[in-house]
Amino acid sequence: MKVIVAETGGFCMGVKRAMDMILKATQENPGDDIICTFGPLIHNRQVLEMLSKKGVRVVESSEECAGKTVLIRAHGIPPDQRKKLKSVAKKLLDATCPRVARVQALIRRHARKGYLPIIVGDPEHAEVRGLMGYSEGKGIVINKVEDVADLPDTEKVLVVAQTTQNEKTFNEIVDAIKEKYKNVEVYNTICGSTHQRQEEVKRMANKVDAMVVVGGYHSGNTIRLAEIARQCGLPTFHVETEKELDVEKLASFETIGVTAGASTPSWMIRRVVEVLESFTHKDSALYHHALFKCLRMLLNVNVVVSCGAGILSYVAASIAGSVRSFPFALMSALYVFAMHTINRYTDKASLRLREPEQAAFYEKWYVPLCSTSALAVLLSLYIAYLGGKLVFFLMFLISTLGLLYNVPIIRSDKNILSHINKLKDIPGSKTLFVAGAWGAVTSIIPDIAQGTFSFLASSYAFLLISLMVYVRTAIFDLLDIQGDTIVGKETIPVFIGESKTKYLLGGLIVLTIVLVATGTLTEVVTGYTWCIIPSVIVLAACLLIYRNRILLPGTLFEALVESFAYLAGAMTAICKLFS
């Protein structure tokens, strides 16, 4: 089944800003149950459940806010409520969306000049209730053309829109108001993000057979996206999670469009896409479905990634000018398999929040996966033991660090490091540790074991492998940035931001190419080093695909990223065969 994902789906600027503010507040008040949001932060039940597990409470009255840190959500609130909150709250954080604040200011200014403020929107929506508070008691809310006939006679009229309003409805109402009144000031205050989402749904209507809209059932902007899709004549499915997808009905369509409301996090969109990708059109061959399921399973149980590590061990030996024996390539694969699997279990609380389906998979297969991982650790250590005491010590050390990554082992006093008690709590540690560990077990340690260690050549191979793995890992971290931010995982994108991470990865890709050229020209490494350039190009392409949303952030994209190791191995083998 072909799936097309809207580029504009997911958190809008206002929601992201509110999320950043509440998460910052939880970090500054760890363990304190004093952080509240005045009303639900966003219309997404799953995200609210995540926040509640971090100690964020939803309150509905100013009395409940006494002595607490209170955040005003992106929808904004009436000025009288703000005044009450300020008088009772310990600290007031204002996350009102700047675009909503602009509408509030327009209404207040015109109301004081004698205009009748008319708000086109849902009278029960939190944003509209907040806007009415700035109308000096004069505002009127309407949401259909028929309401215009009931508007009172007046000389001056101001017309604004709820920022998530349907643009077609707004324009129709404005036309009717202009026919009724002579002096009308119209401000199309529909958010640019809302406008783009709605227009993209209309454009997608000619490319897809049906539309899936992901978002809360109480989210106004999500509901309107579904309405627009239906107005375009598309069979439309509004779901909150991937569990609500109607497999039977969706299987009758060849191409499915996916869009999402402003309160829908990226990882929820990705889960919906992954499920849709796995569907088989009723007229398609079953082997397509079987192949996809098999690929998903191999990715879930870390077979793809561990085999990739074994292949990189062979590539590292070719770069350094040595020959890798199978046992030590196997040692690399076993280590990566064990660490990736075991850390899923030691970080299961985080996994349950970000990826409940994957967490359920790991819980279901707990005994076989844990048993296999334990066996993999022991076997990798046994192979290392055969390589000598130093090799065994290095593998034991790196395995211990990997096993303890998510385990509290660090005690710190009440100072700048007070929030760090695990290796994973060190900012940016995950991406760096994964890259360094892969580099060590694929190049340095096997070379020492085989007696082929050369400081310059082996170190150069370590650096090149680590750089590629760093880029690979950071791309996955970019996909998980929203979930990692909420659960508090200190990845590079969370630590330095999405934009800076993209620039960093672009720079590392260029650096890798430069190092390949420099190393081969100076003969520090062999000519086979050029064989990793196609893999570097694949990683660069994956970064561009992520940035431009060319391919869906699902199973196929994950497989494409992991393919860099297989491509490096294949190119090296081909070059050796014909050299």
Q: Which residues are catalytic?
A: 127
For 48, half-sphere exposure in the C-beta direction (CA atoms, 13 angstrom radius) is 18
Tokens read off for 373: 């991982």
Beta bridge partners of 210: 256
Longest dimension (CA), the chain: 93
Give the Cα separation of 572 and 579 in Å (integer): 10
Dihedral sign, Cα of residue 17, residue 21, residue 27, residue 32: negative
Give the Cα separation of 11 and 5 in Å (integer): 14
Give the Cα separation of 44 and 267 in Å (integer): 13
Nearest to 163 by CA among 192, 186, 135: 192
Asked if residues 134 and 79 have their Cβ atoms less than 8 Å apart, the reply is: yes
Range 514-518, long-range pairs (CB < 8 A, 24+ positions): 515/460, 515/463, 515/464, 515/467, 516/464
Tokens read off for 129: 């209730």
Give the Cα separation of 344 and 96 in Å (integer): 37
Asked if residues 532 and 471 have their Cβ atoms less than 8 Å apart, the reply is: no
Which ranges constitute the DSSP H helices of 451-554? Answer: 455-479, 481-487, 492-496, 498-521, 533-548
Give the Cα separation of 492 and 478 in Å (integer): 9
For the chain, the straight-line distance linking the first and the last C-alpha, in angstroms and rounded, comes to 42
* Burial of residue 341, with CB atoms counted within 10 A of its CB: 0-12 exposed, 13-18 middle, 19 or more buried: buried
Q: Provide the 8-state DSSP code for 46.
A: H
Query: What are residue 115's phi and psi, to 5 degrees?
Result: -75, 150
The per-residue DSSP string of 236-277 comes to: EEEESSGGG--HHHHTT-SEEEEEE-TT--HHHHHHHHHHHH
